[in-house]
Amino acid sequence: MVDTLERLSDHLYRFHDTCDVYVIVFENRALCIDFGAGDVLKELGALGVSHLDWVLHTHHHRDQCQGDHLARKHGARLAVPRYERFLFDEAENFWRNRRLYDVYNVRNTYFTLTQNIPVDADLADYEKFSWNGIEFTILPTPGHTYGSISLIAQIDGKRVAFTGDLIASPGKVQTLYDLQFNYGGFDGVNHAILSLSNLQKENCEILCPSHGVIIRDVDAAIDWTVRKLSEFYEFNTGAAPATRNQYVEVLPGIYGSYSTCSSHYAIISKSGKALFVDYGSAGWEFLQPHILHDGEGQRFIRHTVDDLRDRYGMTSIDVVIPSHYHDDHICGFPYLQRHENTQIWCYENMVEVLERPYGLNIGCLIHDPLHVDRSIADGEHVKWEEFDLTVYYAPGHADYHMVMLVEHCGKRVAFTGDNMFPDEKFGLQHSLIYRNHVHKDSHLFMARRLLDFQPEIICPGHRSHFDVSPEQLKGFVDRTAELRRHFISLVHDPVTDHGVDIDWVSLYPFQPQAQPGESFELTCRVTNYTDEKYEVEARPILPAGWRVSSKVMQFVVPAQKKGEASTTVSIPKKKNGLPKVAITADITINGHHLGQLAHCVVNLKGSGQAL
């Protein structure tokens, strides 16, 4: 194909390179969407452009960005999708750590740059990017890659979407192999279907793909492509894509979504306001892509809620409450808080986890800090609209877990998160994940609380709601009591919780955020499960050149209590090139040397992000 500049409208041009590069020109300045091999630089002078301000990328593949070093040399700044930034400015580290044998994550991250390129800005999902009076909406559109975005803006009186490789032409995509993330999966196809459906709701008049044709009959093109991808997905999986997720009525005014990855629930008041319990991924395939790649965070794509507006009269999402903090249950919370003006309420021991996700070494965290609008105490009764709710501490699946109880339409309903599930063999079955912070009494404590309430309907964190009898609840108490007996029987230490609670000695925060030349406070925390006091000595073990205000943290922890002490760690100014550094603390309790039980990982980028 001959490299040419094609004028699409007064200020918008297309240039054919290793990908199609789109150039927006105002007076003597320009912005490019994707950059190919960089040959467009030779053509900008003919448009009267003396300065290229920005290059914005839709995704990380080399055909989009192999010429970025030339853009940098010409003074352009670079903005990339937030969820793929590490494939630009940490590309060399990515290749050092990319698994090459026993590969079951088959995403095409092999098509990544081989050398780092500096990045000036993230393009964060659902946020805005402004240049020269043009405001770009950043729409997450995974499919061709997990981190892909589309950029939507009003240009020359038309609403234009730059869609990367989401669609190539009506009914066609650029490649099929890029639409497979997990070994043997069709997950990228499901992502692309949801992405296209969300793009259609943006009411764009022109689609500008990275490869293919300019699309002006947008609705027809998306309809055709969604239909064909859906047929392909169903042919291979026998399942419906995420665009067909719907809610099921639990009771009038209470609805559950069960095709999503985690079940989530909407309580809708007579006013049309909704209270959500959890709001996570659109389906299991939307949870998986980041799991097999260290350093990536769970990405949320808006889904399902239009069904509540269309079928059940929901007018707003007023409040969302997490059953627990896991990403498959709460990855939609940042979106709700920022774009639906939704308040976040939570059980009191989750506040620290949600607001400082880098603080604890626990499983399945999202990386976005949240603002909690209301903390709910154990046993507190909450009035929301015409509903009376009660929240109780309910450890088991996780220590940071609640159960919410409501009486409605003459029925007692319990929202139990991941604490219990129906099981053909065991009746009701528990969930045991030590990394979620478990102690020997967790499950039995939770089971007894449920038995006290005597719910008639259980709304679990996965699968559909179900009826439950007092006999089943009593059997669940007996089963969790037996679990406790196994804990005590199997752990050699006379303090059983030393073999069950994986972080009874820990450093906080688990991921301190500090750059070279800065300092941070480091706290050693100890839980004493015994009836005698603990005299604790904790000695930080630091890299060469790092300094600490107290070489030994000494503190007393009373019986059956928690205790802590802090010190200040100072990092030398000289950079070592590493993004993260692990440090430990050597622990002695009551004169017994236990060794380097506690550890943390210092994020030397100081960004507070998992990405």
556 by DSSP, 3-state: which?
strand
Bridge partners (DSSP) of residue 457 are 413, 467
Place of tokens 């007393």: 556
Statement: residue 93 has pLDDT above 90: no
What average pLDDT score do residues 253-259 get? 96
What average pLDDT score do residues 135-151 get? 97
- In the CATH scheme, what is the code of domain 505-603? 2.60.40.10
Q: What is the pLDDT of residues 411-437, one digit of tens each?
A: 999 999 999 999 989 899 999 999 999
> Reading across the β-sheet that carries 553-557, which strands appear in turn?
553-557, 534-541, 580-589, 592-603
d(CA 27, CA 181): 43
pLDDT for position 102: 75
Place of tokens 């030393």: 498
d(CA 276, CA 279): 7
Statement: residue 20 has pLDDT above 50: yes
391, 347 contact by CB (below 8 A): yes
pLDDT over 70 percentage in the chain:
98
**Residue 331's pLDDT band (boundaries 50, 70, 90)?**
very high
Give the DSSP per-residue string, 142-168: -SSSTT-EEEEEEETTEEEEEEETS-S
286 by DSSP, 3-state: which?
helix
Statement: residue 610 has pLDDT above 50: no
393, 350 contact by CB (below 8 A): no
d(CA 195, CA 300): 11
pLDDT for position 289: 75
d(CA 551, CA 540): 7
Q: Which amino acid is at 582?
A: A
- As annotated, the residues of the chain forming the CATH 3.60.15.10 domain(s) are 5-237, 245-490
pLDDT for position 363: 86
Tokens of 59: 């995704």
376, 392 contact by CB (below 8 A): no
Cα 250 to Cα 411, 414, 503, 527, 608: the distances in Å are 11, 11, 38, 41, 39
Statement: residue 328 has pLDDT above 70: yes
**For residue 289, cis peptide bond before it (omega within 30 degrees of 0):** no
Tokens of 569: 């760690």
What average pLDDT score do residues 335-361 get? 96
DSSP for residue 531 = S
Number of C-beta neighbours around residue 338 at 10 A? 16
Place of tokens 């997950």: 187
Q: What is the pLDDT of residues 258-314, one digit of tens each?
A: 999 999 999 999 999 999 999 999 998 998 877 766 567 789 999 999 999 999 999
Q: What is the pLDDT of residues 145-156, one digit of tens each?
A: 999 999 999 999
pLDDT for position 611: 46
Residues 190, 192, 197, 202, CA torsion sign? positive
109, 182 contact by CB (below 8 A): no
Q: What is the pLDDT of residues 435-491, one digit of tens each?
A: 999 999 999 999 999 999 999 999 999 999 999 999 999 999 999 999 999 999 999
Least confident of 157-161, 484-488, 546-550, 601-605: 601-605
d(CA 57, CA 532): 60
Statement: residue 256 has pLDDT above 70: yes
d(CA 64, CA 113): 10
295, 607 contact by CB (below 8 A): no
What is 5-237's CATH number, 3.60.15.10, 3.50.50.60, 3.40.50.2300, 3.40.50.720? Answer: 3.60.15.10
- As annotated, the residues of the chain forming the CATH 2.60.40.10 domain(s) are 505-603
Statement: residue 79 has pLDDT above 60: yes
216, 322 contact by CB (below 8 A): no
Second CATH level (architecture) for the domain 245-490: 4-Layer Sandwich (3.60)
233, 241 contact by CB (below 8 A): yes
What average pLDDT score do residues 532-545 get? 96
**Residue 580's pLDDT band (boundaries 50, 70, 90)?**
confident
Tokens of 485: 């007996």
Q: What is the pLDDT of residues 166-197, one digit of tens each?
A: 999 999 999 999 999 999 999 999 999 999 99
Provide φ and ψ at 475, rounded to 5°.
-60, -35
Identify the H or E element spanning 227. Answer: helix 218-237
Statement: residue 246 has pLDDT above 60: yes
d(CA 372, CA 593): 40
pLDDT for position 457: 97
pLDDT for position 295: 62
